[in-house]
Amino acid sequence: MFNKTVLDNGIRILSEEMPNTRSASLGIWVENGSRHESRHQNGISHFVEHLLFKGTERRSAARIAEEMDAVGGVLNAFTAKEYTCYYGKVLDENLPLAIDLLTDIFLHSIFDREEIERERSVILQEISQAEDTPDDYVHDLFSLDFFRDHPLGRPICGEVATVRNFRREDFLEFVQERYLPGRVLVAAAGHLQHEDLVREMEKRLGAVENSKLKINNSKFKEDAPALQSGIFQHSKSLEQVHFCLGVAGIHQSHPMRYAAYILNTILGGGMSSRLFQEIREKRGKAYSVYSFLSSYKDVGYLGVYAGTSIDWVEEVVELVLKEMGRLAAGEIGEEEIERTKNQLIGGMILGLETSDAWMSHIAKNEIYFSKAVTVEEISRKIRSVSRADLIELAGAILRPEGMALTLLGDVEKKKLELSLSI
């Protein structure tokens, strides 16, 4: 059962009661991510996320970890393009501890100067590790190419130059300016009572006030990027060439989003998808190939990733474009559509069997739709998508003039003959 309460200061408390589970998951979400950073701030949201685990007024970093480990729980966080989340998952009997820990780090972190320097080194290693993982790194490069000169295109971890320049005062001002009650929500799911959760959060978060700093509202503007197209080659000595091919798609709340889920799954969303069957199973030209949707509040894209030999790059790109062309031409069968709908609905329901998945589900619904979206509603909307809807969407977005192709590998070894035409 879903419940929502808004505290007097604007903090939203959401919960999904799951009486038949023993776990409880709790997350404090802030509607602030890397897209809300200026160029010189790139990476500060992620850096702050790390620092909130490095000690509070009454707990050291070691004690924070020890208290959660002592009950077998999970305490973690992540930063995305449009939000940051601090969360814990525990047995229901240990929910009071999770609440105490999360609210303590959220409100009372001290940003110790020595911890900042240690964590700066950790994050610089994280950036280096990402660059040494080509199947991940190519996605970052694609974002930089596709969202040229826009915050959505910049890496969440930041860049070496920006991470090196942050000072303690930057973090304190950033938190005071961005972690405002109206941009904060608490989401919980599992074996819990909503009334108890609200009572605890009122005691701990109810007194949080808006920043006394003069807020520059332009920092919160989320202007949509001008999307780029073309072929972008990045040379790196690698055994394979990794590529992302993308085209402008739809934003998170677009009325055609359910059709997009189906279209993406048909193209490359699983082992029975067209790309997997054609490129890996039939031809053996790639170990990993898949398509994906990246959607934000005002923009999105449909992308394809593959890693293959430099001798096969042109063929694999051509095969991807061929499948896109078939979809754009309306070569979609009713049986394939029905199978894909079942795949999506089944995967969604199985994916929501845990309290942490539900916690994330209700939080993202609040961020993007300002309401609860039930499994029944999602299933019904997926079922209602027609073949005509899919053909209309495919024809609208799968256009070669709007495509971008990013390649990472030893591309200087061979002159590649590439063309984005379907």
Q: Residues 276, 290: contact at Cβ < 8 Å?
A: yes
Gap between the Cα atoms of 190 and 388, Å rounded: 40
Residue 72 DSSP label:
T
Q: What is the pLDDT of residues 137-194, one digit of tens each?
A: 999 999 999 999 899 999 999 999 999 999 999 999 999 999 999 999 999 999 999 9
- Whether the predicted pLDDT of 412 surpasses 90: no
Tens-place pLDDT, residues 300-318: 999 999 999 999 999 999 9
Residue 174 in contact with residue 32, Cβ under 8 Å? Answer: no
CB distance 100 to 64 below 8 Å: no
Cα(320)–Cα(337) distance, integer angstroms: 19
Which two tokens mark 94? 């240990």
- Confidence band for 105, pLDDT divided at 50, 70 and 90: very high
Dist CA 248 CA 186 (whole Å): 32
- Residue 218: predicted pLDDT: 52
Give the tens place of pLDDT for each residue, 333-392. 999 999 999 999 999 999 999 999 999 999 999 999 999 999 999 999 999 999 999 999
User: Is the pLDDT score of 417 beyond 60?
Assistant: yes
Q: Give me the phi and psi of 119, to 5 degrees please.
A: -75, -30
Q: Where in the chain is the domain with CATH 3.30.830.10?
A: 2-210, 230-409
- Tell me: pLDDT of 221 over 70: no
Active site residue 49: yes
Number of H helices, E strands in the chain: 15, 11
Write down the mean pLDDT value for the chain.
Answer: 94
Question: What was the pLDDT predicted at 224?
Answer: 80
* Order of strands, sheet of 241-248, starting from the edge strand that comes earlier in the sequence: 230-235, 403-409, 241-248, 300-308, 289-295
pLDDT over 60 at 254, yes or no: yes
**What per-residue confidence (pLDDT) applies to 220?**
52
Q: What are the residues whose beta carbons fall under 8 Å from the beta carbon of 84, sequence distance 6 or more?
A: 29, 30, 32, 33, 45, 48, 49, 77, 78
Q: What percent of the chain has pLDDT over 70?
A: 97
Residues 6+ apart with CB under 8 A from 51: 109, 111, 115, 116, 119, 171
Length of the chain equals: 422
Q: Which CATH architecture describes the domain 2-210? A: 2-Layer Sandwich (3.30)
pLDDT band at 411 (very low <50, low <70, confident <90, very high): confident
Q: Tell me which of 49, 67, 200, 323 is the catalytic residue.
A: 49
Tell me what the mean pLDDT of segment 263-289 comes to: 96
Report the topology of domain 230-409.
Cytochrome Bc1 Complex; Chain A, domain 1 (3.30.830)
Burial of 343 (0-12, 13-18, 19+ CB in 10 A): middle
Phi, psi of 415 (to 5 degrees): -75, 115
Structure tokens at 351: 């994916």
Report yes or no: 203 and 19 within 8 Å, Cβ to Cβ. Answer: no
Q: Nearest-CA neighbor of 303 among 262, 268, 276, 257?
A: 268
pLDDT at 211: 64
Beta-strand pair 184-190/23-30: antiparallel
| CA–CA dist 190, 102 (Å, integer) | 17
pLDDT, average across residues 88-114: 96
Q: Would you say residue 240 has pLDDT above 90?
A: yes
Nearest-CA neighbor of 106 among 159, 62, 48?
48
Whether 214 shows a pLDDT value over 80: the answer reads no
